[in-house]
Structure 1
Amino acid sequence: MSANGPTEDELRRLFAEICNWGRWGAEDELGTINLITPAVRARAAATVTEGLCVSCARAVELDGYREDGPGDEWREPPVLSLHLPDTGQPGRGVGIAVDRFAITAHGKHTTHLDALCHITFDGRMYNGRTAEHLTSAGATAGDVALLADRLCTRGVLLDIAALRGGYARPGEPVRTDELLEAERAGATRVGPGDALLIHLGRDARWRAEGTGVAEPQAPPMVDYAGLHPECLRFFRERDIAVLVSDIGHDQVPPVGGIGMPVHIGALVHLGLPLIDGAMLEGVVRAADRLQRREFLFTAAPPVIPGATSALVNPMALF
């Protein structure tokens, strides 16, 4: 690939090289989730020896946040409203509070699952389906509801932030050799059906350089660390089933001639679901303390037919 990042032609050749279209049949809507077999789940369950459970979700910022840069103008702050109980007699009788949530699932401030229908490229989504499957009323293929009871497998943590001395920075995309180095450092091997968790140190960077939320003294975070598109080959060769990171996988500004190449390669061509914006500091601490990088990984979205995404609470069980 070109020294300054892959050209559009190079990326298109890469997408064709890794493509999983037709691998599990012409009607398939699950993509790499097919790799999470009962045997894979059984082996994953055997990694639970401590009974320690760690959430990999970040808190939803109900106090609001500002836009991070161009392209975020569609995203409104989340809203939680309560209908408060009224018993008619204060301090007596039953009281029932009722919640109403309004939230944009996609974005950098929420831990969310990208279903395969989230991204199209050249008018196509995973397995060659046309973009006509996306309507204002919802997607008619590859939606998040299909993943409601599928994401239970072995998780493997690759701690790129530790290799970088604290956190990854924009302009220095993670390359395949770093994935291999992190794998060796963790004394484990990423394999078929795994959920791969890549820790880039987003939160350490935010603490050091500003969060990009509603803090006047903090610089806007319009640049994001991410993966080089060449990592897509690693994901295909190892046959991972789910990709998780603490930011959005793609570097911003993008590497090469096409924006969001990791999202395009993963969702459209590999059929690889993504979990963006995870909170991985807790699982890193647990992995460091226990001196192991594998665990049982689960994530369950709500059953929302037609949705391209949903908030999730991924869990690592050691």
Structure 2
Amino acid sequence: MSLKTHARIAFAAIAALAFAGSAVAQDCAPSKWGADDEIGSANLVTPEQVLMASKLVKKGMSAPLGITISRDTPAFAPRSLSMQVVQPGQTGGTDPLGYGGGGVYNDDIIQMWFGIGSQIDGLGHLGDDGRYYNCNDAKEISQIGGLTRLGVHNVPPLVGRGVVIDMAKHFGKEFLEAGHVINAEDVKAAMEAQSIEVKKGDVVLFHTGWTDAKLESAPSEWGAGEPGIMPDVAEMLAEADVMAVGADTWGVDVVPPPAGAKVFYSHVVLLRDNGIYILETMNTGPLVEAGVTEFMFVLGQARVKGSVQMVINPVALW
């Protein structure tokens, strides 16, 4: 092959890459909340929404939506958790508090990934074509010391109406198996049968029974797959202008996906395309057992600057 031919091929490749990059930039539409927005659907938290949600608390009941985690909690590889409890300065009969008394105390040291157990996926967690929510370029915001934009620390308290849709009940099962597909028509049918209406600013949770059935009894199986939604569900909920979408599964999307389908593409539709938060491994079992379909949802996550995700324990009140 001649040098000229090599040059033509190289030029064609560069031109193709330049065109592709231009196409990505042109295809990326700024957020409806403005080109500088970093919090997406959290903009839906308004005084009116909070007051509306507060009226759902009629029995004075509450339930944690987070699960207990430990070093043994299965997680999306290579995530892990390690904790040590220490007693600083308490060797040789020293006075650790300096008050002249016999006080003792414990501290804890933890090394962990924030994406373990119950968690919120921030808008800088997953994108596509090199871009995240609101046209943020992966090369610009993804830094080893923390995201320069879209960090979870920016997210205000998420307060609003929550609904739980029992997909296990809809399919007549105690729990749905890994790989069980939930599509938009399934969700519509379940909502109609369970008299559930999704409204603007809602937090929508799906109950599949997967975590209750498998997390403790078969943790390896629990982490190897899951029932979950398809992108058409994400698109439907985005059209409804919801604030967050979650499930009692570790990844919300169906795993493994059907043949020919993109893995975790509901994440792309929700996070990148619409700025809608994802809530994973939600403890929906107690709500279903109590017959609760709507409730007040409250989440105030830890504010670690530049964080991508965060371990959470939202509260459901009804």
Q: Same fold (TM over 0.5)?
A: yes
Which runs of 5 or more residues in structure 1 are unaligned? 1-18, 213-218
Shift of 1:314: 1.1
Q: Does 1:264 align with 2:264?
A: no
Q: Which has the higher contact order (CA 8 A, sep 6+)?
A: 1
Question: 1: CA distance between counterparts of 2:150 and 2:276?
Answer: 11
Shift of 1:265: 1.0
1:136-155 aligned at under 5 Å gives the runs 136-147=144-155, 149-155=156-162
Shift of 1:252: 1.4
Q: Does 1:113 align with 2:117?
A: no
Aligned counterpart, 2:230: 228
Q: Does 1:281 align with 2:289?
A: no
Superposed CA RMSD: 2.3
Work out whether residues 287 and 293 of structure 2, in 8 Å CA contact, stay in contact via their aligned partners in 1. Answer: no
User: Could you state the TM-score of these two structures normalised by the residue count of structure 2?
Assistant: 0.82
Aligned counterpart, 1:125: 132
Runs of 4+ aligned structure 1 residues displaced above 4 Å come to: none
Q: Does 1:242 align with 2:244?
A: yes
Closer, same or farther: CA 176–20 of 1 in aligned 2, 3 Å: farther
Shift of 1:56: 0.8
Q: Does 1:312 align with 2:315?
A: no
Shift of 1:20: 7.3
Which runs of 5 or more residues in structure 2 are unaligned? 1-27, 96-100
Secondary structure of the residue aligned to 2:204 is strand
Closer, same or farther: CA 29–177 of 1 in aligned 2, 3 Å: same
Work out whether residues 56 and 283 of structure 1, in 8 Å CA contact, stay in contact via their aligned partners in 2. Answer: no
User: Could you state the TM-score of these two structures normalised by the residue count of structure 1?
Assistant: 0.82
1:81-92 aligned at under 5 Å gives the runs 81-84=84-87, 86=90, 88=93
Number of aligned residue pairs: give it: 280
Work out whether residues 238 and 270 of structure 2, in 8 Å CA contact, stay in contact via their aligned partners in 1. Answer: no
Closer, same or farther: CA 220–233 of 1 in aligned 2, 3 Å: closer
Residue identity matched to 1:246 = D
Aligned counterpart, 1:98: 107
Question: 2: CA distance between counterparts of 1:243 and 1:21?
Answer: 22
Closer, same or farther: CA 207–263 of 1 in aligned 2, 3 Å: closer
Aligned counterpart, 1:45: 54
Closer, same or farther: CA 210–257 of 1 in aligned 2, 3 Å: same
Work out whether residues 177 and 227 of structure 2, in 8 Å CA contact, stay in contact via their aligned partners in 1. Answer: yes
Structure of greater Rg: 2
1:204-223 aligned at under 5 Å gives the runs 204-206=212-214, 210-212=218-220, 219=221, 221-223=223-225
